[in-house]
A and B are shown apart, each in its own frame.
Chain A
Amino acid sequence: SQQGEEDPQALSIQEGENATMNCSYKTSINNLQWYRQNSGRGLVHLILIRSNEREKHSGRLRVTLDTSKKSSSLLITASRAADTASYFCATAAGAGSYQLTFGKGTKLSVIP
């Protein structure tokens, strides 16, 4: 079953603009992760944020986590055509449990 729900389902922006994707989940978590999937390929881990963290940065990526609202957001700044992909949030339930439950994803298109 899907835990997370990403919003929007699809997003189209111009190169250079910022892209924001949101994820909501239902149960308490140990950590939340974001993955990228290029068309027809496997997933690539982008960033992990733990339940006691509120914000995390990695290069052009910024992730926030609000455990009171059970939501997270992924911001990609200064987007590039190569960022075109589907982005999934995934939650890990408890400490020591490494199983991930994925959302349905946001399909991002960056237009050159």
Chain B
Amino acid sequence: EAEVAQSPRYKITEKSQAVAFWCDPISGHATLYWYRQILGQGPELLVQFQDESVVDDSQLPKDRFSAERLKGVDSTLKIQPAELGDSAMYLCASSPRGVRANEQFFGPGTRLTVL
């Protein structure tokens, strides 16, 4: 079965450095989500794309975070500069069109540690 791919799986960086995460959704999935999950909490939505357009980025800290999905396929989430409080799991999910549009398929996540 097709899966959402994310890389890297783990990233350790020092505060004030820039980091980038990559996500490749399941082929044909129109909607792509980026979540942040702090240890012991549920995922919180950062940004939602429909094809190449941003649907909702109201929870994205835009002073330091940016996200793009230029061709409506894969996506990159960037943090610059990273802060200690950004340490978390960053999850990407995608959804198909049609009857299963409510269901989200998650990638394995990128575990970010900011020192």
CA distance A105 to B102 in the complex (A): 20
B103 touches A45 (CB 8 A): yes
A44 touches B106 (CB 8 A): yes
Looking at the assembled complex, report how far the CB atom of B67 sits from the nearest CB atom of chain A, in whole angstroms: 15
Q: Which of B44, B89, B95, B103 contacts A102 (CB 8 A)?
A: B44
Q: Provide the residues of chain B in CB contact with A92, threshold 8 Å.
A: 102
Given A48-B102, A98-B101, A99-B56, decide whether A42 and B91 contact each other with a Cβ distance below 8 A: yes
Surface stretch bound by A, among B14-22, B35-43, B69-77, B78-86 = B35-43
Given A99-B48, A99-B56, decide whether A43 and B43 contact each other with a Cβ distance below 8 A: yes
Residues on A lying within 8 angstroms of B by beta carbon are 1-2, 4, 31, 33, 35, 40-45, 48, 88, 90, 92, 98-105
